[in-house]
Amino acid sequence: MRITSIGSFALTALATARAISITTSGVYTLTIAGRALTHGNATAPVTAEIPSRAANQAWTVFFVADGVVSLQNVATLEFAAITRGNPGIVGTNSSFGWVLFESNLFCTGTDSAFCISLVSSNGQLSLVNPGNPENLPQVFDATPIPPPRAWYEVHNVATNRIIGATPGFTFLSTYPASDRSEIWLVQPQENSSTIALQNLDTSVWLTAESNGNVTAVFDPPAPWIVAFPAGLGQTLTPASSGFLQVTAGTSLVIDSFTGQTSTWVFHPVDPAPFLPRRV
């Protein structure tokens, strides 16, 4: 659930900026005044740059609480945040909660909030009161995108389960991941909305069988179409149609039903710390 108002300025921004409201977790590009939210590297500030479709302009927006989101950069794995003594927006390795308003304002609180704002033509971002007399850009346009090439936990929020695999089998574990078998490399395919998912531990590919079962095989890579149904979140469809979903909270199947058990959040991770699965 989003916060609907922080005063007349926010409502005016919603009416004039035509922002796409973020209502579900997912991977997005976030643009402000035509410039894409970007994190160049782990030591650089978060800035607004010319859109390039690079992975450092892709963000996993995750609802950590009602009306509160974290913004994690896919390339650097850092979270957009603020720190004491720094007027800009920085990257941090700890999740940071932004209050999300209906007009795609990312703010620090519900009362007298300060919101991420574009404060210079060189892409500098800072926190500014939404009633600022300079009328600085603060509303973001959000575009859902397939996850770029990177390592991820693939998370069904409705059941708090993530996908794991061993050769010939798939399973579900409680989020977050505990070993390499629960980490996946997203490999974008020729079709811009299609990906393949390769397991870190054994290099098997997530695959759907014709009978609706979901398994993991060494070859070949299986295509999954990433879609973003309005109000739901990101879904995964195999070549045979249907949707990847959790059934009874215990297994993966392909079914024609769409709902919260068939939507997935891609959390980017560093694969290095994870150990192989114990047999």
Nearest to 253 by CA among 240, 268, 265, 270: 240
For residue 9, is pLDDT > 50?
no
- Flag the least confident range among 1-5, 136-140, 168-172, 263-267: 1-5
Q: Lowest mean pLDDT of 127-136, 162-171, 207-216, name the range.
A: 127-136
Q: Higher confidence at residue 245 or residue 21?
A: 245
Domain 8-144 and domain 150-268 have a common topology: yes
| Average model confidence (pLDDT) across the chain | 91
Right CATH for 150-268 from 3.20.20.70, 3.10.110.10, 2.80.10.50, 3.40.50.720: 2.80.10.50
Please identify which residue in the block is written with the tokens 């490999």.
187
Average confidence (pLDDT) over 34-59: 97
Residue showing tokens 């590009």 = 29
Distance CA 175, CA 152 (A): 12
Query: Average pLDDT of 112-123?
Result: 91
Integer Cα distance of 174 and 33 in angstroms = 39
Q: Is residue 185 exposed (0-12), middle (13-18) or buried (19+ Cβ within 10 Å)?
A: middle
pLDDT, position 85: 81
Indicate whether 104 pLDDT > 50: yes
Mean pLDDT along residues 154-167: 97
Given a cut of 70, is residue 6 above it in pLDDT? no
Pick the residue with more confidence: 13 or 277?
277
- Is-above-0.75 flag for pTM? yes
Of the pLDDT bands very low, low, confident and very high (cuts 50, 70, 90), residue 12 is very low
Query: Can you give the pLDDT at residue 20?
Result: 62
Nearest-5° angle of CA 260, CA 199, CA 217?
Answer: 95
Residue 231 confidence class, pLDDT cut points 50, 70, 90:
confident
pLDDT above 60 (res 10): no
CA distances from 188 to 30, 93, 149, 164, 218 (A): 20, 26, 6, 20, 18
Instruction: Give the pLDDT of residue 18.
Output: 34
State mean pLDDT over 84-103: 92
Q: Which whole number is the average pLDDT over 5-20? A: 36
- Rounded alpha-carbon distances, angstroms, from residue 59 to 30, 76, 136, 143, 209: 8, 10, 23, 10, 31
Residues present in the chain in total:
279
H/E element, 13: helix 8-17
Average of pLDDT values for 149-167? 98
- CATH of the domain spanning 8-144, picked from 2.80.10.50, 3.30.360.10, 3.40.50.300, 3.30.1490.20: 2.80.10.50
Domain boundaries, the chain: 8-144, 150-268
229's tokens: 């149904």
- Each residue's pLDDT tens digit, 166-190: 999 999 999 999 999 999 999 999 8
